[in-house]
Amino acid sequence: MIKRTKPARVAPPQVSGGRARSRAGRPLSRERIAAAAMALVDRDGLEALSTRRLGEALGCEAMSIYHHFPSKAHLMDALIDLMLAEARVELLPEWNWLQRLRHTAHGFRAMALKHPKFFPYFAVHRLNTPSGVAYIDGTIGILRAAGFSDRDAATHFRTIGYYLTGAALDETAGYAMGPSAAEPVSNNTIAADFRNLAAAAPFFQPGHFRATFETGLEMLLAEIERAHE
């Protein structure tokens, strides 16, 4: 006679909530997920960011991430907010409006250079999250507090934004990445046939990026200062 045994009872699957934990036991949070996502982009590029890859990095199931970010768009907004937090600089009370603009500009560039693989996305993203709106409001506030009209404050804000975005894109995803053409002109040809470019070429190298940035920024600020006077 064959003795039959009862099948072992299997516990029902647990549905994780907002306090889901990774396999390492650390609780998940919006801050931890966003930081891990930025680290993944910094290392492997934006195209590598997926909930599966992010779950592997955090030691959790990909679905657990959706308890904190209902879509990838929400996660991307969190990365934008991380960038803005790193762009902010302390503005000392004794600084005048021109010094405040200068330090704000340098903070923006430092942020872009710290996360060059994410910055191209940031550059074309509308800053309409609460953090983004606050950042814009604060920068415009520097100009309005200096006495500029609302129209001039908007104009100067956008002009500064054009310069900062273009400069940072060039340093992170443009000239700094090398030739883009399928068949780039050789250095020998440039030296022989394009002597103006050949003479200036050494100063296009990364070692001169900061000096070039500061030259352009100071020219822009000087014109804004002239308009203020």
SS3 annotation, the chain: CCCCCCCCCCCCCCCCCCCCECCCCCECCHHHHHHHHHHHHHHHCHHHCCHHHHHHHHCCCHHHHCCCCCCHHHHHHHHHHHHHHHHCCCCCCCCCHHHHHHHHHHHHHHHHHHCCCCHHHHHCCCCCCHHHHHHHHHHHHHHHHCCCCHHHHHHHHHHHHHHHHHHHHHHHHCHHHCCCCCCCCCHHHHHHHCHHHHHHHHHHCHHHHHHHHHHHHHHHHHHHHHHHC
pLDDT tens track for 78-110:
999 999 999 999 999 999 999 999 999 999 999
Q: If you count them, how many residues does the chain have?
A: 229
Output the pLDDT for position 23: 53
Q: What is the pLDDT of residue 40?
A: 97
Cα–Cα dist 228/154, whole Å: 14
Domains of the chain: 16-70 (1.10.10.60), 81-228 (1.10.357.10)
Count Cβ atoms below 10 Å from residue 124 Cβ, excluding itself.
8
Enter the pTM of the model.
0.85
pLDDT in tens, 13-40: 333 444 455 555 578 999 999 999 999 9
- pLDDT tens for the 229 residues of the chain, in order: 444 444 444 333 333 444 455 555 578 999 999 999 999 999 999 999 999 999 999 999 989 999 999 999 999 999 999 999 999 999 999 999 999 999 999 999 999 999 999 999 999 999 999 999 999 999 999 999 999 999 999 999 999 999 999 999 999 988 767 778 889 999 999 999 999 999 999 999 999 999 999 999 999 999 999 999 8
